[in-house]
Structure 1
Amino acid sequence: MSAQLLVIDDDAVTRELLTEVLQSEGYRVAACDSGPRALERAEHEHFDLAVTDVRMPEMDGIAVTRALKARDPAIQVIVMTAFGSVETAVEAIRHGAYDYVSKPMNLEEIKSTVRRALSERRLPDARMNGDRGADDTYGVLVGRSPAMVEVYKTVARVAPSRSTVLVEGESGTGKELIATALHRHSGRAGARFVAVDCGSLTDTLLESELFGYVRGAFTGAVGEKKGLFEEASGGTIFLDEIGDIGAPMQAKLLRVLQEYEIKRVGGQEWIKVDVRVVAATNRNLEELVRRGSFREDLFYRLKVVTITLPPLRERREDIPLLAEHFLRHYAERNQKPISHVTDEAMVLLMDYPWPGNIRELEHCIERAVALASGTVLTPEDLAPELRSTVEATLHRGSPTLEEVKRRYLEHVLAETGGNISRAATILGVDRRSLYRMLRRYGLRAS
């Protein structure tokens, strides 16, 4: 007998599309437009799997997930949202969701996820039974792009474990923010989070910082000092730029990851530590291993779980969200009544390559807010080097304002692959308004 599925979404178009697609896969599908109606139906019918939206007026998808799992622990639940965040992913998976997917939907991804969920249908793991509320994530872990939704899902799944995590990504992509999110959404959140920049210290200094030292270990060691591994015991230690450490230090770190014990510099006693290790690098560790400058055994100890952060140029649809986030932050800090970024300035931000990634974007917006004299950020408020970098792209032949808007619209459509829903979200308009804009400028989504 084919599986019985329940689709829950207050948007009629999405609900009907999902129903049709899943029925075409051979499933029996029931559809409801709200959480309460879905739960009422689940009282009288058996469902193998539910697909639910997060944002619904009467009852959100997290509450629906919790109620469905309480009624039938074996049901698989897939949560959909157009408002991706690490908190939503953590909450959904904590309350028993099988997976978390972003809107606009990739229908092939939905079909594949449903197949996997049904094939793995089983009673939930005991670790899902906790109901600890999620803290707010730190700083600028912002984005709704598919790449970032995948990152949120991985963070949500691995956070409760003790597994070592390796965070890869270019400088400025937010690696420490991921480490902080892993800590805050784990059972270690009440203990210390300790961050160490391994690349800024020599191996000798790094050893005494990480492991501490005993009195007389070296000139100036007039007393005992705990190392950061001891300070972080019970919590999380974040080892940034792990690819920059030398061979002797690599050997000592390997011992920590194997035995979870350290020896202070100049000491004889091994000291047990209970610490979760998150490491990060902007270098290609596999290439360093091939060249013999990084230990292969340490590499595999570090990459139990790997999270790769995309550079900002590969998630341009998140630039407006990030820019507005930083604008609100620095406008409030500087007590300036700046409301938004103008369309013309946003075109510049979208077209700039951002070699320094999110960190560079943050500094750009901070500078612009500090220098702005009006209530909106305009191109003139942005750094001259940013304007000059994209001048050839944006100012060929000194285009009119209408031409700049048209080019920006073309740019967003290209970045989203012609996906109307995603383009509308980036532009901050509804689908109907976007279609009017396309007709006005003679453009097609494809």
Structure 2
Amino acid sequence: KKEGYNVFLCEDGKEALERITKDELEVDAVITDILMPNIDGLTLIQRLKKSNSEIPIIVITANTNLEVAIEALKEGAYDYITKPFKNDELKMILRNAIEKSALLKENLELKNKLKLHEPNIIFNSKVMEELYMKALISAKTNVPVLIIGESGTGKELFARLIHRESPRANEPFFAVNCAAIPENLMESEFFGFEKGAFTGASLSKPGYFELANKGTLFLDEIGDLPLSLQVKLLRVLEDKKVLRLGGKEPFDVDVRIVAATNRDLDEEVKKGNFREDLYYRLNVLKINIPPLRERKEDIISLSMYFLRKFCISNQRKIHGFTNDALKILETYSWPGNVRELQNVIERACVFETGSLIGLSSIPVEILESVKDINKKSIKSQRVDTVAFSNFNLDDYLNNIEYELITKALTEAQGNKKIAAEKLGISLWSLYRRIEKFKKADFIINDME
């Protein structure tokens, strides 16, 4: 205590174990004797290490019991001290133990932060599992890879995966958005230039191929490259040499190309917008990522991943989604794909006030879009089953309305506010409809 530590005393090992594991007492170190009633020191070490492997444990033992002390070290104790001992000796061991423990915690937090910022490919669908395995196989080769997919499907994540799992993993990964470079700057950006190559070139500058040398060059939106640059890109891919603007001699480059596009390059070739020879040069291995609407099995896994990620970065405590919210997420068509889903979850994480993300935290335009889809679905299902023998439209519509209200009330466990939200109507409107059915002798179980 004189050293500034908060000290918690326990009568025996059993009390110490209960306070640390059951009562969740947070401690930076444990000092324990070996011979104790109920639970001895060795058993205490074993059980504490199961619940918290990083906690440093210092063992006190007698000179005649060194074999037990060594056994304690094997079980995971940080150090031991023999009786009798000097206080300064114990202080030094304790200080070192706590410093080491703090360093381990800091390293663990840093690793978790790195994992949080490392792009991840999250999936639950068979098609994405197959694409993931295909990417891993592609990574071990040195041939170009062409990744095709709509905007927001995760093309760059696959490119980074291929680089990370390749023999070039410790070399540069250089990403270029071909659609973002002005056409008059493309050649100098891709191949670099020498000093004095053009007005304003006061210094030499390396191009993308030099910057990515020995590593991976990711050419995103390759379909937007003008034909004039496609010719020069093809030459570099075939010769593996680059000539800077204003340069006299080409030099060797060793770059693995991964290209991506959201365009149909077969069609672009037919239209004359993309060179056929360059297309075949790039299209050695192809990874075609389907849009999110075609792999709805991935939506919940992705949503939970983004929720955990944004809860950590925004210091929020949200544990999941309501069933209604999950149904909306699974039904929506996600034209912006995974990127749109990520943005929606981030927004919901910021604005949600409860422990679960509900409908109120999902953008109105998504709710309206899903409502339209459901209306069309219900319409088509109902109309297909209609038989017009002894048919009465009013009775038919009343029966549908009654079934939906009953189902909503049952799922909401009688909570009319929640039932009204499920039905997409106001609470007053629900009360009015319930009264209508009660007057008509319909049984409404509204749990009142």
TM-score range, shorter chain: 0.5 to 0.7
Shift of 1:202: 2.1
| Partner in structure 1 of residue 161 of structure 2 | 181
1:354 aligns with 2:334: yes
CA distance in 2, matches of 1:401, 1:253: 60
| Offset, 1:394 | 4.7
Give yes or no for the alignment of 1:227 onto 2:227.
Answer: no
1:88 corresponds to which residue? Answer: none
Which residue, out of 312, 315, 325, partners 1:332? 312
Q: Which residue of 2 aligns with 1:97?
A: none
Match of 1:303 in 2: 283
How far off is 1:344 after superposition? Answer: 0.6
Query: Aligned residue for 1:367?
Result: 347
Q: Which amino acid aligns with 1:200?
A: A
- In structure 2, what residue type is equivalent to 1:155? A
Instruction: Report sequence identity in percent.
Output: 45
Asked if structure 2 preserves the Cα contact closer than 8 Å seen for 1:166 and 1:278, the reply is: yes
- Show the counterpart of 1:390: 370
| Counterpart residue number, 2:132 | 152
1:171 aligns to 2:151 (yes or no):
yes
User: Which residue, out of 190, 207, 213, partners 2:187?
Assistant: 207
Give the structure 2 partner of residue 442 of structure 1. none
Name whichever of 191-200 and 366-375 sits farther off.
366-375
Task: Give the whole-Å Cα distance in 1 for the aligned partners of 2:342 and 2:361.
Answer: 14
1:287 aligns with 2:267: yes
Cα deviation digits, residues 373-427 of structure 1 (max 9, x gap): 111100110111111111134577675447879xxxxxxxxxxxxxxxxxxxxxx
| Partner in structure 1 of residue 175 of structure 2 | 195
- Report what 1:270 is aligned to: 250
Structure 2 counterpart of 1:293, one-letter code: N
String of CA shifts for 1:131-155, please: whole Å, max 9, x gaps.
xxxx979424110211101101111
Distance 1:207 1:302 in 2: 19
Counterparts of 1:404 and 1:315 in 2: how far apart (Å)? 27
Tell me the distance in 2 between the aligned counterparts of 1:404 and 1:272: 68
Partner-residue secondary structure (3-state), 1:299: helix
Q: Report the Cα distance in structure 1 between the residues aligned to 2:327 and 2:185, rounded to whole angstroms.
A: 46
Contact 1:330 1:366 in 2 (8 A): yes
CA distance in 1, matches of 2:118, 2:321: 23
Q: Counterpart in 2 of 1:437?
A: none
In the alignment, the residues of structure 2 paired with residue 187 and residue 262 of structure 1 have an alpha-carbon distance, to the nearest angstrom, of 23
- Matched to 2:150, the amino acid is E
Deviation at 1:215?
0.9
* Cα distance, 1:154–1:403 mapped onto 2, change above 3 Å: farther
Structure 2 segments unaligned to the other structure (5+ residues): 1-113, 379-400, 413-448
1:141 corresponds in structure 2 to 121
Question: Partner amino acid for 1:162?
Answer: N
Partner Cα separation in structure 1 for residue 302 and residue 170 of structure 2: 29
Q: 1:200 to 1:403 in 2, by over 3 A?
A: farther
Deviations 1:296-335 (A, max 9, x none): 0000000010000010000001100000000000111100
Correspondence for 1:244: 224
Q: Could you tell me how far 1:212 is from its partner in structure 2?
A: 0.9
Q: Which residue of 2 is the match for residue 66 of structure 1? A: none
The 2-side partners of 1:186 and 1:337 are apart by 38
The answer to whether the Cα contact below 8 Å between 1:394 and 1:404 also exists between their aligned partners in 2 is no
> How many corresponding residue pairs?
271
The residue identity in structure 1 corresponding to 2:333 is: P
Alpha carbons 1:167, 1:307 under 8 Å: kept? yes
Counterpart residue type for residue 278 of structure 1: V
Give the CA deviation at 1:203: 2.5
Letter of the 2:308 counterpart? R
Cα gap change, 1:254/1:337 in structure 2, threshold over 3 Å: closer, same or farther?
same
Unaligned runs of 5+ in 1: 1-134, 406-446
Q: Against the structure 1 CA distance between its residues 246 and 404, is the aligned structure 2 distance closer, same or farther, given a 3 Å change threshold? A: farther
> What residue in structure 2 maps to residue 63 of structure 1?
none
Q: How does 1:99-138 map to 2 (within 5 A)?
A: 138=118
Q: Aligned partners of 2:411, 2:262: CA distance in 1, in Å? A: 35
Q: Distance in 2 between matches of 1:138 and 1:172?
A: 17
Give the greater-gyration-radius structure (CA). 2
In 2, distance between residues paired with 1:393 and 1:403?
23
Write out per-residue CA displacement over residues 163-222 of structure 1, whole angstroms, 9 at most, x where no aligned residue: 100000000000000000000000000001000000111233222222111111222211
Separation in 1 of the partners of 2:338 and 2:202? 43
Tell me the TM-score normalized by structure 1.
0.58
Distance 2:273 2:120 in 1: 33
**Which residue identity lines up with residue 290 of structure 1 in the other structure?**
K
- Cα distance in 2 for residues equivalent to 1:403 and 1:391: 20
Q: CA deviation at 1:293?
A: 1.1
2:108 aligned residue: none
SS of the equivalent of 1:368 reads helix
- d(CA) in 1 for partners of 2:282, 2:410: 50
For 1:332, give the aligned amino acid.
I
What is the CA–CA distance in structure 1 between the aligned matches of 2:131 and 2:118, rounded to whole Å? 15
User: Secondary structure of the equivalent of 1:221?
Assistant: coil
